[in-house]
Chain A
Amino acid sequence: MVLDVAIEKRLGGFRLDVAFAGERRGVTALFGASGSGKTATVRMIAGMSRPDRGHIRVDGATFFDRAAGIDLPPERRRVGYVFQDAKLFPHLSVRRNLDYGLRRAPAGERRIAFDEVVGLLGIEGLLERRPHALSGGERQRVALGRALLAQPRIVLLDEPLAALDAARKAEILPFVERLRDELGLAMLYVSHSLDEVVRLADDLVVLDGGRVRAAGPLVATMSRPELRDIVGVFDFGAVLEAAVVVHDDRYALTVLETPGGHLRVPRMDAPPGRRVRVRIRAVDAALALDPPVRASVVNVLMGRLTAVTPELGPGATARVDLGGAELVVAITRLSAERLGLAPGVPVYVMIKAVALDREEPARPRRRAPDRA
């Protein structure tokens, strides 16, 4: 067990009661709206505040256990904490910022080398600068490096991209992906951005009002009914794992292979074979009983209904099994009744739009973790 958290804390009128576990390394996303308790949770994992009850175990080490009277101070937990706004030490150069945690890490635990991190993050040219002379994106890269060089048991990223504009985010995300893929670390990624979560996470923990509302592998968890309330009707949808098949330059399209068949999406900049994640929002899909002919929609997948759940108001959520993957489709209760939509009925899913969230390099985790 890499991560085992069960904590309670009263914060003014707000009650946090959070429990989740991570079985494997990789990225666990802690997802929820502002005020859902995400940051309070990671701060307790880092030891910056103390839970009223419960326990926190990371990678075999007990950070906190109220019953056993254990409460490691932050400096002995060895978590790599990446703050929203970098928090670089203004009086130290970039090099000395990076060195700060490295020099304090136990000699026998130094697995991540200075030059490797500097190379991965592309910050070789910044080493002698002071933090104030860096751009927002550069600062966040240095902050990532500083956290990694402290040889952490887990990296806690607290909305590391939230303070950056879209261009800077696009600049940082590939670096976070590289770290995920090349260093084989456990990361807990706090975010309220669905795009970031879908792009980065292996597992998802959804917080709402100080409680865990859903948790599990990302693809399976994204389409859970609880998510509809949390992300909203318009963003609710399913995530499919896909692979690039071929590019169709004549129409500026790319063909993707998914468990439910081929999807045509706007031309992507990725070689054939590259694995990607696509998000198909429930409101961007529609159902038909017969194969649609003479329709403008280019993506039609075949599947079988597994559930039709009426929602408040006119809507209903239909779930379609594509043979190994699931889509959710927003329909009206009216059409459910008219078309006689019920579990077991074969349907055609017409997909109007596809959100591309993750370009995933084939993931040979270069380095196997040396501790179980």
Chain B
Amino acid sequence: MLTDAEWEALTLSFRIASVGVACALPFAVAVAYVLARVRLPAKTLLDGVVHLPLVLPPVVMGYLLLVTFGTRAPVGGWLLETFGIRLVFDWKGAALAVAVVTFPFTVRAVRLSLEAADPELEAAARTLGAGRLDVFWTITLPQALPGVIAGAITAFAAGLGEFGAIITFVSNVPGETRTLPLAIFTAIQTPGGEAQALRLAMLSIALALAGLALAELAARRIRRRRGG
């Protein structure tokens, strides 16, 4: 049904989106916790920085990643010299772009469910003998779980569709960074590629719908178990 190149784009998209979201998730939960629970003087600033990827043009995000993680850029150069890790033109760089661009989605979802959670439950757990970390793992995180799952699925769906940041940062390398949207773009640019573009576009739509349905299903399941 799909050509090899199409399969490659599809599996690559999945790999990049899932690795990107998975790596970003712990940081997103930590930032959401700080925003929801910790009193900070610079909270508005942190909140703003977290939301930047949401309001900046993706191309700008990709450019910022390039000037930070490019092989001759400060962080990118250090990674290359110390660990031999090169992010540009590499799927790992695409995963990083997905992680950064989808970060606000996850933070928002986790933060909302943390804010909806009852802090008195944490107080109750403390009186029952649980230390701070214990409370976080056994009470806070399970409370935020619906948000974590919903946020991760949304971020994953958005990551599958990321275009601007990826093409700017890691370019359009077949089999390495050419995800589904980039493949569609390439097909459109290719004379006679309209039919292939249409097929890939339909595939994208199906994936997005499946992702949304999955998020809704997971949220419902958790709600039902808690009777909330």
For residues 109 through 136 of chain B, which have their beta carbon under 8 Å from a beta carbon of chain A?
A: 118, 120-121, 123-131, 134
Structural contact, A89 and B125, CB atoms closer than 8 A? yes
Q: Which B residues are CB-close (under 8 A) to A81?
A: 123-124, 127
For residues 62 through 96 of chain B, which have their beta carbon under 8 Å from a beta carbon of chain A?
A: none
Closest B residue, CB atoms, query A134: B227
Q: Which of A72-80, A249-257, A357-365 makes up part of the contact surface?
A: A72-80
A-B contact count (CB 8 A): 74
Docked complex Cα distance between A79 and B129 (Å): 9
Greatest chain B CB density within 10 A among A73, A77, A91, A150 is at A91
- A83-B120, A87-B120, A87-B121 in contact; A47/B126 too (CB < 8 A)? yes
Task: State how many angstroms separate the Cβ of B95 from the closest Cβ of chain A.
Answer: 31
Structural contact, B125 and A100, CB atoms closer than 8 A? yes
For residues 53 through 79 of chain A, which have their beta carbon under 8 Å from a beta carbon of chain B?
A: 73-79
In the complex, whether A146 has a CB less than 8 A from a CB of chain B is yes
Q: List 26 A-B contacts (CB under 8 A).
A: A46-B127, A47-B127, A48-B123, A48-B127, A73-B131, A74-B126, A74-B127, A75-B126, A75-B131, A81-B123, A83-B120, A83-B124, A87-B121, A90-B121, A90-B226, A90-B227, A90-B228, A91-B142, A91-B225, A91-B226, A101-B129, A104-B128, A104-B130, A130-B226, A150-B127, A150-B129
For residues 19 through 56 of chain A, which have their beta carbon under 8 Å from a beta carbon of chain B?
A: 46-48
In the complex, whether B143 has a CB less than 8 A from a CB of chain A is yes
Structural contact, A101 and B142, CB atoms closer than 8 A? no
Task: State how many angstroms separate the Cβ of B123 from the closest Cβ of chain A.
Answer: 5
Task: State how many angstroms separate the Cβ of A72 from the closest Cβ of chain B.
Answer: 11
Task: State how many angstroms separate the Cβ of A351 from the closest Cβ of chain B.
Answer: 44
Binary CB contact string for chain A from 204 to 227 against chain B (1 if under 8 A, 0 otherwise): 000000000000000000000000
Which residues in A have some Cβ–Cβ distance to B below 8 Å? Answer: 46-48, 73-81, 83, 87, 89-91, 100-101, 104-105, 130-133, 146-147, 150
Which residues in B have some Cβ–Cβ distance to A below 8 Å? Answer: 118, 120-121, 123-131, 134, 138-139, 142-143, 145, 225-228
Docked complex Cα distance between A87 and B121 (Å): 6
Q: Which A residues are CB-close (under 8 A) to B121?
A: 87, 89-90
Q: Which A residues are CB-close (under 8 A) to B124?
A: 81, 83, 87, 89
Q: Which B residues are CB-close (under 8 A) to A150?
A: 127-129
Q: Which A residues are CB-close (under 8 A) to B120?
A: 83, 87
- A81-B124, A87-B124, A132-B226 in contact; A75/B118 too (CB < 8 A)? no
- A87-B118, A91-B142, A91-B143 in contact; A105/B129 too (CB < 8 A)? yes
User: Main secondary structure on chain B at its contact with chain A?
Assistant: helix
Docked complex Cα distance between A46 and B129 (Å): 11
- A130-B227, A133-B227 in contact; A80/B142 too (CB < 8 A)? no
Q: Which A residues are CB-close (under 8 A) to B129?
A: 75-76, 78, 101, 104-105, 150
Closest B residue, CB atoms, query A90: B226
Q: Which A residues are CB-close (under 8 A) to B142?
A: 89, 91
Structural contact, A89 and B130, CB atoms closer than 8 A? no
Closest B residue, CB atoms, query A146: B128
Docked complex Cα distance between A133 and B225 (Å): 10
Q: Which B residues are CB-close (under 8 A) to A75?
A: 126-131, 134
Structural contact, B127 and A100, CB atoms closer than 8 A? no
Docked complex Cα distance between A90 and B228 (Å): 9
- A87-B118, A87-B120, A89-B139 in contact; A73/B228 too (CB < 8 A)? no
Structural contact, B128 and A100, CB atoms closer than 8 A? yes
Cβ contact of B127, chosen from A80, A91, A132, A133, cutoff 8 A: A80
Greatest chain B CB density within 10 A among A48, A90, A131 is at A90
Docked complex Cα distance between A161 and B138 (Å): 27
Q: Which B residues are CB-close (under 8 A) to A83?
A: 120, 124
Task: State how many angstroms separate the Cβ of A85 from the closest Cβ of chain B.
Answer: 9
Q: Which B residues are CB-close (under 8 A) to A104?
A: 128-130, 134
Docked complex Cα distance between A48 and B145 (Å): 25
Closest B residue, CB atoms, query A150: B128
Docked complex Cα distance between A131 and B142 (Å): 15
Task: State how many angstroms separate the Cβ of A178 from the closest Cβ of chain B.
Answer: 22
Q: Which B residues are CB-close (under 8 A) to A132?
A: 226-228
